Amino acid sequence: AAPGGAKYHLQPDLPRHGLYRPEDRLMPPTLLEDGSGLTFEYLPGTLDEAEFLYEEIFVRRSYLQHGVHVPERGSPLIVDAGANLGLFSLLALSINPRARVLAVEPSPHTFPLLERNLFRAAHVRCVPALLRERPGKHELHCFGDAPAESTCHPRERAAQRARLDAAVKRGAPSAAAAAATAWPAAVVVAAGG
HSE toward the beta carbon, residue 192, CA cutoff 13 A: 7
- DSSP lists the bridge partners of residue 185 as 142
Per-residue pLDDT, 147: 80
- Judge whether residue 91 has pLDDT over 90: yes
List, in order, residues 6 or more apart from 100 with CB less than 8 Å away. Answer: 75, 76, 77, 78, 123, 124
Per-residue pLDDT, 29: 63
CA distance 163 to 146: 15
pTM of structure: 0.70
Give the ranges where the chain is alpha helix by DSSP (H): 47-54, 87-95, 111-118, 154-169, 174-180
Per-residue pLDDT, 156: 80
